[in-house]
Structure 1
Amino acid sequence: MSFNYRHISKAGARILERVNNPVARFAKGKEKQRIQSIPEFMRPDLPIVDEAKKFKTEQDWKFLPGDRVVIVRGEHKGNVCVVKGRDEHTNGYLLDDNGPSKQVVVPKEYWQEGQTSHVVAIPKTMTQKDLRLVADIEDEAHPGQVKTVAVQNIVFKGTYYDEDYKKILPYRCVFGQTDLVIPWPRPEPVEDGNLATPPEVTREQTYWVDSVTRNSIPKKAFLTIRNPRSKYRRGKITAKDLKFLVKPEMPLTKSEQAALAMKEKLGEIKKLELTEDDKILISERVKSYLDKQSNSATTA
């Protein structure tokens, strides 16, 4: 809610807190009311998931638009479909015409190009557990031929840079047979806009440096690309700047003064250095001690 009751009373603040953060037993009812207030053609088929449970990476989604999947539950069980899109609010998948759909009434202001009726069929979103990835693998019984299979589960092993997606992607492998990699679907090509520059033109050199001492930009042109009144171009430091740049001196406490004085006294004490005679005496005592230890061990 955009308005605030906190300025009225403490009771108003408590009411606002309950509305924005309902308890668990009221949250489901509130969500149901919100869903019912949405028009049917915009209403999600699956429940909205929490922000922490939303799929974010390719490992979470497992299927990308362009993948072939088979439906394993429901009325359309066994149909092989192509993933056309994803619903990030419900972690659902939108399939092609082979998948489930529903008839809804769409107001005329929301009609698409070429639409001629108020009643249209829109695809239903499917959950990940209702789908299995379909892949073409080599048929061991018939060498040189491929067969289409449904993958029960997939795992991810290692990463590589995908030139089409322009990012790092994990290898998608069959569970229990990690040497069998299922490639990601190729994304649909995006046409360049009218203002796009062809790749071959962007690589053409249009500027050459003719001097390393003389600036190629005239001095009078700098005022057109830089703000001459910018605070970062001032030639002097003000008192306000010094306040942030210079650390203030804080008075030392009595304990800190005593610690510094003790540190200075310890620094004035001259450290004793071992002489050659001291080193010989220490080595003889260590040798005699080791000899006694070895003799006692032999006697025992």
Structure 2
Amino acid sequence: MSSSLRNLSKRYGTNLDRFPFFLRKMFDRLSREAQLPALTSDVPELPIEKRFKRPDQWKVEVGDRVLITEGKYKGHVTKVLALHHPTNRIFLELAETKKLVVPKQFWQAGQSTHVIDYPKTVHPSNVKVVGTIVDTAADGTERERDIAADQLVFKGEYWDEDYGKMMPYRRVKFHENVIIPWPRPEPEEDCAFSTAKEAAEERTYVPNCLVRTDAPENIVESLRDPIMKRAYKWDKKYITRSEAKRLSSPEMPISEAKKAMFEEKRKIREAIPSEPSVETIELVGKLVAEKLNAVTDRNFAAYVNSVGPDARQKKKEARESARKVHEEKIREAEERNKIKNRTEGKYKLRKAKKKGSVVF
């Protein structure tokens, strides 16, 4: 399946692996039809989880000499040029080619025609790794000869400085004392924007404490993406016991001078009154009264009078008087209704007696 369809994120697309086989096949066909022939592969791409990731899966590396065991060039020794990760296949220096029409914007240096011979990929199982061993003859002379490993086993690891990672030992099966070394990668030339190794290894920051940091408080927010909706791993609402232990301040011995300082601060806090004294209240009231009495703005004076204690008491008394008047009106209305109902009942009874009807 095309990587342009498979590698779509949840934000911009969907995972096509969850669809049935016939739908995946249809989407793959539509994707291939939309691509240029020069950019498509003869072999369908594999899912990410099925692609080779370790050297012992590839069994070969760029620069290896290999013996071709299948195809037109069977029996020839050639060199591995590149690894094609989407299909788990390799490019060889000597391999079958196909005619491709390449647009001009994709021409390489020195290319003069649209039609080129593009090499086909080969599966690693169709090649055998070629290694060189040294034999000692009976007369003591040494000579080198090439061997093709039919099968390989990987036992043990070592740190490779050129690859910058742990690499397994590549041994010939049933002759595990024979080790075929990995090829040396071509050195990469530094460009104008590259940082020198000495500058990258120079230490420019040394923390003063493992618990407290001198970094700004909002440094984490400044490094985050402001439009990111996915929760970050450090935004969890709980911490483990080991994390709490690392975050807690270490217990340090307190000197006598610090103890005296803490005691002095405690006495100062106790001496500060929790409530204002009567003198303070009178002084504040006097200053506020002088300030308000000096007001000359008529509107501001009216506002002050409306929110003063006397105005609040008057409003409260007015509301209470209005409530009493309202309750008195309700009581009078209820009395009038009772008199009305009693009078209407008397007239109905007299009218019924005159007609001679019985009232139950």
**Shorter-normalised TM-score: what interval?**
0.5 to 0.7
User: Any stretches of 5+ residues in structure 1 without a counterpart?
Assistant: 5-15, 214-224, 233-243, 246-300
Within 5 Å, give how 1:74-113 maps onto structure 2.
74-96=71-93, 98-113=94-109
- Report how many aligned residue pairs link the two structures: 207
The residue number in structure 2 matching 1:152 is: 150
**How far did residue 33 of structure 1 move?**
4.3
Q: Distance in 2 between matches of 1:19 and 1:160?
A: 40
Change (3 A) 1:203 1:151: closer
| Structure 2 length-normalised TM | 0.50
Question: In structure 2, the residue corresponding to 1:31 is in which secondary structure?
Answer: helix
Contact 2:159–2:166 (CA under 8 A) maintained in structure 1: yes
Q: One-letter code of the match for 1:118?
A: H
Max Rg structure? 2
The residue number in structure 1 matching 2:122 is: 126
Question: In structure 2, the residue corresponding to 1:133 is in which secondary structure?
Answer: strand
Change (3 A) 1:229 1:20: closer
Q: Distance in 2 between matches of 1:145 and 1:229?
A: 68
Change (3 A) 1:149 1:36: farther
Contact 1:92–1:128 (CA under 8 A) maintained in structure 2: yes
The residue number in structure 1 matching 2:191 is: 193
Change (3 A) 1:191 1:21: same
- Of 65, 69, 72 in structure 1, the residue corresponding to residue 66 of structure 2 is 69
Q: One-letter code of the match for 2:113?
A: S
Report the structure, 1 or 2, having the larger helix content: 2
Q: Distance in 1 between matches of 2:184 and 2:151?
A: 21
Change (3 A) 1:231 1:90: closer
**How far did residue 230 of structure 1 move?**
7.3
**How far did residue 53 of structure 1 move?**
1.4
Q: Distance in 2 between matches of 1:163 and 1:19?
A: 40
Contact 2:17–2:24 (CA under 8 A) maintained in structure 1: no
Change (3 A) 1:196 1:31: closer
Change (3 A) 1:158 1:230: closer
Within 5 Å, give how 1:281-292 maps onto structure 2.
none
- Of 57, 62, 65 in structure 2, the residue corresponding to residue 60 of structure 1 is 57
**How far did residue 86 of structure 1 move?**
0.8
1:87-108 CA-partner distances (Å, limit 9, x unpaired)? 1100010111x22222211011
Q: Distance in 2 between matches of 1:161 and 1:22?
A: 43
**How far did residue 34 of structure 1 move?**
3.1
Of stretches 177-186 and 20-29 in structure 1, the one that deviates more from structure 2 is 20-29
Q: RMSD over aligned Cα, in angstroms?
A: 3.7
Change (3 A) 1:159 1:195: same
**How far did residue 138 of structure 1 move?**
2.2
1:144-181 CA-partner distances (Å, limit 9, x unpaired)? 11111211011101011111111111111001111111
Q: Which has the higher contact order (CA 8 A, sep 6+)?
A: 1
User: Any stretches of 5+ residues in structure 2 without a counterpart?
Assistant: 209-213, 222-236, 239-360
